[in-house]
Each structure stands twice: as C-alpha cells, then as structure tokens.
Amino acid sequence: MLTSIAGRSVIVTGASRGIGRGMARVFAAKGAKVLVVSRDQAQADAAAAAIRDEGGSASGFAADVADAGAAARMAEAAIDRHGGIDILCANAGIFPGAKLSEMTLEQWNHVLSNNLSSTFLSVSACIPALARTGRGRIVITSSITGPITGSPGWSHYGASKAGQLGFMRTAAIELAPRGITVNAVLPGNIRTEGLDGVGGDYIAKMTASVPQGRLGGVEDIAYAALFFASDEAGYVTGQTIVVDGGQVLPESLSALEEMGG
Ligand code: NAP
C-alpha cells in the first residue's frame, strides 16, 4: 500500500485522451488534483469533466507544450488552481508515420518538437514549483519504440523517445539535490482511442506479438506512473520501467510461433 497522494497537485500533459487520460483518471481516483492538458481546450475540459463526474478533482487547460510560453502558462495554472506542483507527467506525444526515404526535415522537426522538446519545456517550466515541495516527481512517457525496438516509419518517433531517456538521465542528476526524481515509463502497444477503427485484423496482428496475448490498457501505464510518483519511490531516479506484456522478449520468429502454444 503506497502512501496516499490525496490532495497533491498533478499535471498530466496529453490528458484529453489515451494514456494521459488514463493517468489523469487514476491519479484523480487516488485523490490528487489534476490539471488535464491538451492543445484543445474543449477536449481537455471534456476529459476533466468526466473525471469530476467520477468524483475526482480535475480541470482542463489548453497548452501546446512544444511552445515555451504555453508550457510556462500551464505551470502557472497548476500553481494558481492547486497551490503548487507535486507531480508532472510529461506524456504528450504524437506518432505520425513517415518512411526514412521520404521523410522531410519538417516532418522530422515536427515529431522531435512535439515529443522531445515538449518534454524539456514541460520539465523546465515545472522545476521551481516541484523543487518547493521537497519531493517533486517527474514521470516521462517514453516508449519501447526507440529505446529498445525499431519500427518502419517511425525513425523520427524512435529518436524522440530514445532522446527523452538521454534527457532524463542528466535531468535526474541535476534535479536530485532539489529533491526531484525523474523516471520514465516505456509502454508497448496500448489500446487507446487512436486504435478504434483500425480494424480487427490489425489489432490481431499487434496482439500476436505480445506474450500475454493482449494489448495493454491505459491503466497499465498509469499504475507504473503512480509508483514513480509515490513517496515510496523516492530513492528511484533516472530509471525506466517497460510495461508491454512481454512484447520485447521473444528473440526470434520461432519464439513468437511457440507462443501460440
Ligand atoms: P493519443 O491518444 O494520440 O493522445 C495524445 C495526447 O497528447 C492527446 O491528449 C493530445 O491532445 C496531446 N498532445 C499531443 N501533442 C501535444 C502538444 N504538443 N501539447 C499538448 N498536448 C499534446 O496518444 P497516446 O497513445 O495516448 O500516447 C501518449 C504518449 O504515450 C505519447 O508520448 C506516446 O508516444 C506514448 N506511447 C503510446 C503508445 C501506445 O501504444 N498508445 C505506446 C508507446 C508510447 P491534443 O491533440 O488535443 O493536443
């Protein structure tokens, strides 16, 4: 049983849907006050309203965290509304596909800006408030793609997700004297709204590569983030946890075939 995080101020970027929304719901269910951030005010508000309907404390805030000014306003909003910032979940991200042979510099920069620069900007904006708590927590949503695996069409995405870990390791050292931990969750294939409509065949192919025989749920990622955010994880910093149902484990096609029984 982890020490309660009731009353703590949490920012979740990219919380209008998908993994971030799952994190916001789980943190709110544990009594935290959550700032639900996305670029779209209406969608952020809708996700926050759904959390309040479930008895949680949450409000929406529109910020493009790839923009330094917007990231700063996001931090100010959490301080104004909730009295400070205890936990930052830097989760916002995009994953448009583009094969390397056709990728433009603009496409590359777009993904690096939204996934990697946004992590730096969110963290930077929140450092002073996190430090004031004496036990600030930063949880970054990276991916297995980049740090561990590759996937055609996602070289820019993989670079951004591996880059987050490089950033994290030095940030963890620099922020340790200020009582802030920095850790990362690496999701495998997670069932989000983005997969609605891709078709059963596609889902079946994705599922076939997972030893546990199912895609992850957003709560699977949220509970790993909750651990990193807990008081009990205070001596854990600069670390990663893979949450993928064993997806990275099979070393060969025959290992995959064996999984079928
Ligand atoms: P998603 O369903 O598309 O949700 C992405 C969220 O981020 C939305 O709320 C989106 O809202 C927001 N967002 C995107 N860019 C933003 C920006 N610049 N500023 C503020 N908000 C922004 O994606 P997801 O699948 O939940 O992915 C969330 C994170 O998990 C990403 O970092 C992704 O790389 C990582 N991940 C996902 C999976 C997976 O299987 N789903 C696997 C590994 C890692 P707006 O569009 O309204 O801004």
Q: What is the pLDDT of residues 105-119, one digit of tens each?
A: 999 999 999 999 999
Ranges of the chain whose pLDDT falls below 50: none
Asked if residue 207 is part of any domain, the answer here is: no
For the chain, the 3-state helix, strand and coil shares in percent, each to the nearest 5, are 50, 15, 35
In a domain, 182, yes or no: yes
pLDDT of residue 232: 98
- Per-residue pLDDT at 87: 99
| Number of domains the chain is built from | 1
- Closest-CA residue, ligand 1 atom 39, reads 190
Q: What is the pTM of this model?
A: 0.98
The pLDDT, as a whole number, for residue 159 is 98
User: In which residue are the tokens 């995080």 written?
Assistant: 5
Report the residue among 12, 35, 37, 94 best suited for mutation to probe ligand 1: largest number of ligand atoms under 8 A from its CB.
94
Residue-number span of the structural domain to which 184 is assigned:
9-195+217-247
**Residue 221 falls within a domain, yes or no?**
yes
Closest CA to 184 of 197, 196, 192, 172: 172
The protein residue with its alpha carbon nearest to ligand 1, atom 41, reads 190
Spacing, Cα 253 to ligand 1 middle (Å):
30
In a domain, 53, yes or no: yes
Q: Under DSSP, is residue 74 helix (H, G, I), strand (E, B) or coil?
A: helix
- Residues 240/147, Cβ–Cβ less than 8 Å: yes
Q: How far is the CA of 148 from the centre of ligand 1 (A)?
A: 19
Which CATH number is 106's domain given? 3.40.50.720
> Tell me, what's the pLDDT at 261?
54
CA pair distance 1, 175, nearest whole angstrom: 27
pLDDT value, residue 100: 97
Minimal-distance CA residue to ligand 1 atom 8: 14
Q: Identify the CA nearest to 9 among candidates 76, 94, 107.
A: 76
198 contact partners, CB below 8 Å, separation of at least 6:
none
